Amino acid sequence: MSSADWPLWEVFVRSRRGLSHTHAGSLHAPDAAMALRNARDLYTRRSEGVSVWVVPSAEITASSPDEKDSYFEPAADKPYRHPTFYEIPEGVRHL
Amino acid sequence: MTTMAPDAGTQDDAAYEARFNAAVAAEERIEPRDWMPDAYRASLVRQIAQHAHSEIIGMQPEANWITRAPSLRRKAILMAKVQDEAGHGLYLYSAAETLGTSRDELLDRLHAGRQKYSSIFNYPTLTWADVGAIGWLVDGAAITNQVPLCRCSYGPYARAMVRICKEESFHQRQGYELLLALSKGTEAQHAMAQDAVNRWWWPSLMMFGPPDDESAHSAQSMAWRIKRHSNDELRQRFVDICVPQAESLGLTLPDPDLTWDEERGHYAFGPIDWDEFREVLRGNGPCNEQRINQRRTAHEEGAWVREAATAYAAKQAERSRHGYRAPQDQQQGDTQEEDIA
Amino acid sequence: MNPAPASAALALGDDALVLSHRLGEWAGHAPVLEEELALANIALDLLGQARVLLSLVGDEDELAYLREERAFRNLQLVEQPRGDFAHTIARQLYFSSYQRLLYEELAQGDTAIAELASKAVKEVDYHRDHAEHWTLRLGDGTAESHQRMQQALDALWRYTGEAFEPIEGLAVDWATLRARWTDRITTVLRQATLTLPNGPQSGAWAAGGGRQGVHTEPFGRMLAEMQHLHRSHPGATW
């Protein structure tokens, strides 16, 4: 048995209240409780965070780069989803 | 995250390679699940692993002085710095793992002598001033090397380097400040500082690797945008930076040929002893054996601790399947959140 | 704010200074990289506490580097060699549990020590959490880890009684502190499938005397290493 049995965890850090958690990196830990503590020790030692999430890397389902086009390109030709698409007469406010 | 190769056969490798090359040329970042040439992957694993190994072996020469630091302020700084190096090792092993090689495999290769680390750490730290010389010269050379890596074509490596460079700037400054205190201190302190600079100057210049015409991996790494500048370019940049810094320190650099070359707009410097470099690389430096032995011993002596934690985790998982959880771990699921402040 | 009693600042400051030094010896030797970070964080917290506490008494470096062994007021517990990881965790468990309870009480006061204690109690809370989590894993891990952890707990037990001898200048109910400490340790050890050691904690066969400047053999060697460079250059600044 070796530390290879310590699974990999992805770490997400909230840098300050009001912001979302952002991916910071990964680390190894035997279980969730230790992963959380290791994350605190590694990723917040310069006051980078007020809250941490840890998620087993193996539990993440990701989109495949091969499907990039079918996943993400169709959104590119729908400009009517953005407010700048619409023309509003000058002087109309609060819109 | 598990890295999966895209289905082979859906498109032939040539098309993938063309797309990869175009992305690299367009300064797009390559991410873990993207297709990449095997040689690119292998080259990155080699470089990132070597870099990670250098961080953790690099802890040793400085940790050598933690228990003897001459003031409590210096002791705190040194402990924090050595800790950062462990942290940097972790960031880098994480980056390497996105390429499908586990940290354990990489450590095994280091312990078996199949992967290298920076030769500089095979020199001993003989006096307290060596801690300063490492910060100023060794970290200085490392930063010169690393800043361009923040724009490396491989995303996870580039991101790790951004974090590392940000943290590393304190390392270099503390080294410079330490040497300055010695240089302006008593005669004995000044001599200690000069002696350390004399010993670390040439090995620092060797950190940039062999001259461009002898560098085995350079051309391909440049084409892949892993590397941005040649070894000699970076070495020259470092020398140009150091000369005025040494003057401000009141210390000299041990090279009688060091002169300003008006024509080139750079400092000219004397010949580097590449025989020494090759000998140290081959394992014949003053501390090669000592460094790798300590690393191996720490790993072996830690095995029972790592096994204990694994066994405990397995027991807890078993217990929770049977509806029992130790009181302490009751609120802890797979995904956890905890407020630190 | 009232001035801090020097005897107390020295006792607590020396505890933190010496334990920080012993933890610093782990740098480059930890069982796994993640633990390098954890142990260094704890060592840095303790060193920070030591610097504040010693500065209440005088010049921190003069106190750390120029006192003779007999002038140090730390517990014998903290000066013991680091031993294997189980010894380090056993000491962390004993000491951080003590320090956590003590600082919680001291934080209520109105001296400079109270100010330090109210900040440090949060740090120490994390140290205790770290020690307890590892105690569970080593105790309830493998047969080897269980045996090593029990051995370490037993070996260090005789240094624990001293912690509850009154420190001059601190208004603390030491008997209650001791009872709360024993409760906590008993609970954690039971959960970790370990046995509370039953040897003497103090008295003729146990250790003690650190608070009076009587130390154990390894401490002299530790100080020799810690102080030699500073003492080799009298009057120098670093």
For residue range C123-158, what is the model confidence (pLDDT) as tens digits? 999 999 999 999 999 999 999 999 999 999 999 999
Backbone angles phi, psi at B293, to 5 degrees: -65, -45
Provide the pLDDT for residue C205: 62
A54: nearest Cα among A18, A6, A4 = A6
Tell me the average pLDDT across A42-71: 89
- CB of C131 closer than 8 Å to CB of C93: yes
Answer yes or no: do A4 and B104 touch at CB < 8 A.
Answer: yes
Q: Is B314 on the interface with C (CB under 8 A)?
A: no
CA–CA separation, B129 vs B193, rounded Å?
Answer: 5
Provide the pLDDT for residue B331: 44
CA–CA separation, B73 vs B276, rounded Å?
Answer: 36
Residue ranges covered by each domain of chain C: 6-232
Q: Which chains touch C (3 or more CB pairs under 8 A)?
A: A, B
- CB of B97 closer than 8 Å to CB of B103: yes
- CB of C195 closer than 8 Å to CB of C235: no
Between these two residues, B186 and A85, which has the higher pLDDT value? B186
Report how far apart, in Å, the C-alpha atoms of C1 and of each of C10, C51, C105, C110, C111 are. 19, 19, 17, 6, 6
Segment 128-147 of chain B within 8 Å of chain C by CB: 128
Answer yes or no: do A42 and B312 touch at CB < 8 A.
Answer: no
CA–CA separation, A40 vs B340, rounded Å?
Answer: 8
Provide the pLDDT for residue B3: 46
CA–CA separation, B338 vs B8, rounded Å?
Answer: 42
Interface test with C, best of B62, B125, B306, B312 (most C CBs within 10 A): B312
Burial (CB count within 10 angstroms: exposed 0-12, middle 13-18, buried 19+), residue B105: middle
pLDDT digits (tens, 9 = 90+) for B53-87: 999 999 999 999 999 999 999 999 999 999 999 99
Q: What CATH number was assigned to the domain covering residues C6-232?
A: 1.20.1260.10
Query: How confident is the prediction for chain B on average, in pLDDT?
Result: 91
Provide the pLDDT for residue C50: 98
Average the pLDDT over each of B16-25, B93-102, B207-216 and give the range with the smallest value: B207-216
Provide the pLDDT for residue A72: 82
With 50 as the cut, is the pLDDT of residue A90 above it?
Answer: yes
Chain B residue whose CA is closest to A35: B336
Q: Is C138 on the interface with B (CB under 8 A)?
A: yes
Q: Is A46 on the interface with C (CB under 8 A)?
A: no
- CB of C72 closer than 8 Å to CB of C18: yes
pLDDT digits (tens, 9 = 90+) for B194-235: 999 999 999 999 999 999 888 777 788 888 998 889 999 999
Tell me the average pLDDT across C109-117: 90
Segment 61-80 of chain C within 8 Å of chain B by CB: 61, 64-65
CA–CA separation, B234 vs B221, rounded Å?
Answer: 15
With 90 as the cut, is the pLDDT of residue A84 above it?
Answer: no
Q: What angle do CA C209, C210, C216 make, to 5 degrees?
A: 90
Report how far apart, in Å, the C-alpha atoms of B302 and of each of B123, C15, C33, C202 are. 26, 27, 10, 33
Provide the pLDDT for residue C206: 66
Task: Pick left, alpha or beta for residue C155 (phi over 0 → left; psi -120 to 50 → alpha; otherwise beta).
Answer: alpha
Answer yes or no: do C38 and A37 touch at CB < 8 A.
Answer: yes
Answer yes or no: do B310 and A6 touch at CB < 8 A.
Answer: yes
**Residue in this structure with the two tokens 């002085």, named with its chain if needed:** B65
C21-34 residues labelled b (16+ CB within 10 A) or e (exposed): bbbbbbbbbbbbbb
Provide the pLDDT for residue B332: 44
With 50 as the cut, is the pLDDT of residue B262 above it?
Answer: yes
Give the 3-state secondary structure of residue B59. Answer: helix
Spatial neighbors of B206 by CB under 8 A, at least 6 apart, are: B119, B120, B272, B274, B276, B277
With 80 as the cut, is the pLDDT of residue C3 above it?
Answer: no
CA end-to-end span of chain A, whole Å?
A: 64
Spatial neighbors of B66 by CB under 8 A, at least 6 apart, are: B75, B78, B79, B82, C24, C25, C27
CA–CA separation, A30 vs C166, rounded Å?
Answer: 41
- Percent of chain B surpassing pLDDT 90: 82
Q: What is the 3-state secondary structure (H, E, C) of B113-142?
A: CCCCCCHHHHCCCCCCHHHHHHHHHHHHHH
Compute the nearest-CA separation of A63 from chain C (Å). 30
- CB of B30 closer than 8 Å to CB of B24: yes
Enter the ipTM. 0.96
Q: Of the CATH numbers 3.40.1410.10, 3.10.20.520, 3.40.50.10880, 3.20.20.370, which one belongs to the domain with range A3-63?
A: 3.10.20.520
Q: Determine which helix (DSSP H) or strand (DSSP E) holds A52, and give its type and residue range.
A: strand A51-56
With 70 as the cut, is the pLDDT of residue C61 above it?
Answer: yes
CA–CA separation, B28 vs B25, rounded Å?
Answer: 7
Spatial strand order in the sheet of A51-56: A21-28, A8-14, A51-56, B336-339
With 90 as the cut, is the pLDDT of residue C215 above it?
Answer: yes
CA–CA separation, B243 vs C220, rounded Å?
Answer: 44
- Residue B257's pLDDT band, with cuts at 50, 70 and 90, is very high
Nearest to B334 among A2, A27, A56 (CB): A56
CA–CA separation, C22 vs B203, rounded Å?
Answer: 32
CA–CA separation, B33 vs A64, rounded Å?
Answer: 7
CA–CA separation, B219 vs B213, rounded Å?
Answer: 10
With 90 as the cut, is the pLDDT of residue B181 above it?
Answer: yes
